């Protein structure tokens, strides 16, 4: 018995030392305890109606229902500057969901995520690891384009991310792939840099979660294309491992 307790303490110590070396004072737990009560991760927001949102969106059972209820959202200033609301695209029963940051110019014009150059690269990479775009689900943290493709503001992420959480709650994928730093930081509620999060397997409300580069970043920095490919290949392995 004494031996077992010592082993548990040694394992815990080793884990904490490893976490400290990666993240400093901030400790990110890779797995949620299975003993935790399973609660809906979505909380009802106050004042939905005044922002063009049907307050019953939190009870949506399907993606179509959710999209219909939130598509006129003006909860943050991006609702006034967008051309199109960009909800998401793909298989609503997919076992894997790719989450990007926000619509760009092409996505804003077409109302679909990842249709510009970054989208073309994502399609190529998906195909190269054996995924078809129409068999997976693709969406963003923000549903409206930040002007000039600037980074999303914390207030915009706070306003919009409950919609992403609800999408994931409806789809119930086995694996989430975060493309870029904003989705992983949003889901894990951390400010840790992508470089320290990439390559690890986390768990978000019982769903495996991995982080990789955004395809747009890989277009700007060609040396990130290979690691992006490797991460997508790893995602496929995780999804189909026995
Ligand atoms: S970005 Fe999100 S919160 Fe802001 S207006 Fe668009 S849908 Fe609403």
The domain tally of the chain equals: 1
Question: Any long-range contacts for 115-120 (C-beta under 8 Å, 24+ apart)?
Answer: 117/216, 117/219, 118/214, 118/215, 118/216, 118/219, 119/215
Per DSSP, the three-state class of 128 is: helix
Atom 1 in ligand 1: residue holding the nearest Cα: 144
Question: Has residue 235 been placed in a domain?
Answer: yes
Q: Which strand (E) or helix (H) includes residue 221?
A: none
Q: Check residue 49 and report its DSSP letter.
A: G
Q: Ligand 1 centroid vs 67 CA: distance in angstroms? A: 12
Question: Has residue 205 been placed in a domain?
Answer: yes
**pLDDT computed for residue 241 by the predictor:** 81
Closest ligand 1 atom, CA of 80? 5
**pLDDT computed for residue 49 by the predictor:** 86
For ligand 1, say whether the CB of 42 is within 6 Å of any of its atoms.
no
Question: Has residue 30 been placed in a domain?
Answer: no
CA atoms within 13 A on the CB side of 84: 15
**pLDDT computed for residue 33 by the predictor:** 41
Give residue 105's domain range: 86-240
Atom 4 in ligand 1: residue holding the nearest Cα: 76
Residues making up the chain, counted from first to last: 242
For ligand 1, say whether the CB of 76 is within 6 Å of any of its atoms.
yes
Question: Has residue 40 been placed in a domain?
Answer: no
CA 151 from centroid of its chain's CA atoms:
15
**pLDDT computed for residue 40 by the predictor:** 58
Mutate to test the pocket of ligand 1, among 49, 142, 153 (most ligand atoms within 8 A of CB): 142
Q: Which residues contact 91 (CB under 8 A, 6 or more apart)?
A: 134, 135, 136, 137
Q: Ligand 1 centroid vs 155 CA: distance in angstroms? A: 10
Let me know: does 175 contact 208? Beta carbons within 8 Å.
yes
Per DSSP, the three-state class of 116 is: coil
For ligand 1, say whether the CB of 78 is within 6 Å of any of its atoms.
yes
Question: Has residue 27 been placed in a domain?
Answer: no
Question: Has residue 19 been placed in a domain?
Answer: no
Question: Has residue 211 been placed in a domain?
Answer: yes
Per DSSP, the three-state class of 193 is: coil
* pLDDT tens, residue order, the chain (242 aa): 666 667 667 655 654 554 454 334 544 454 444 444 445 566 656 678 889 999 999 999 999 999 999 999 999 999 999 999 999 999 999 999 999 999 999 999 999 999 999 999 999 999 999 999 999 999 999 999 999 999 999 999 999 999 999 999 999 999 999 999 999 999 999 999 999 999 899 999 999 999 999 999 999 999 999 999 999 999 999 999 85
Q: CA 222, CA 70: separation in Å to the nearest integer?
A: 37
Q: What is the CATH number of the domain that holds 153?
A: 3.40.470.10
Question: Has residue 204 been placed in a domain?
Answer: yes
Residue 17, Cβ density class (10 Å: 0-12 exposed, 13-18 middle, ≥19 buried)? exposed
Query: End-to-end alpha-carbon separation of the chain, Å?
Result: 33
Question: What is the sign of the dihedral through the CA atoms of 224, 133, 183 and 27?
Answer: negative
Q: Check residue 152 and report its DSSP letter.
A: P
Q: Ligand 1 centroid vs 78 CA: distance in angstroms? A: 6
């Amino acid at each position: 018995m004494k031996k077992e307790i010592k082993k548990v303490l040694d394992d815990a110590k080793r884990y904490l030392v490893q976490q400290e070396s990666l993240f400093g004072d901030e400790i990110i737990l890779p797995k949620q305890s299975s003993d935790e009560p399973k609660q809906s991760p979505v909380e009802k927001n106050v004042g939905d109606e005044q922002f063009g949102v049907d307050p019953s969106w939190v009870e949506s059972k399907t993606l179509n229902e959710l999209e219909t209820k939130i598509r006129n959202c003006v909860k943050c200033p991006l609702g006034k500057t967008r051309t199109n609301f960009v909800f998401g695209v793909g298989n609503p029963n997919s076992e894997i969901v790719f989450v990007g940051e926000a619509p760009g110019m092409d996505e804003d014009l077409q109302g679909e995520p990842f249709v510009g150059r970054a989208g073309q690269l994502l399609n190529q990479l998906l195909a190269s690891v054996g995924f078809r775009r129409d068999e997976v689900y693709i969406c963003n943290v923000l549903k409206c384009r930040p002007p000039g493709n600037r980074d999303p503001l914390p207030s915009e992420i706070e306003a919009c991310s409950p919609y992403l959480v609800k999408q994931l709650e409806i789809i119930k994928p086995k694996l989430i792939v975060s493309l870029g730093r904003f989705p992983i930081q949003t889901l894990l509620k951390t400010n840790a840099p992508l470089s320290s999060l990439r390559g690890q397997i986390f768990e978000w409300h019982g769903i495996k979660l991995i982080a990789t580069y955004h395809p747009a970043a890989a277009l700007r920095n060609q040396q990130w294309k290979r690691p992006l490919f490797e991460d997508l290949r790893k995602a496929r392995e995780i999804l189909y491992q026995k």
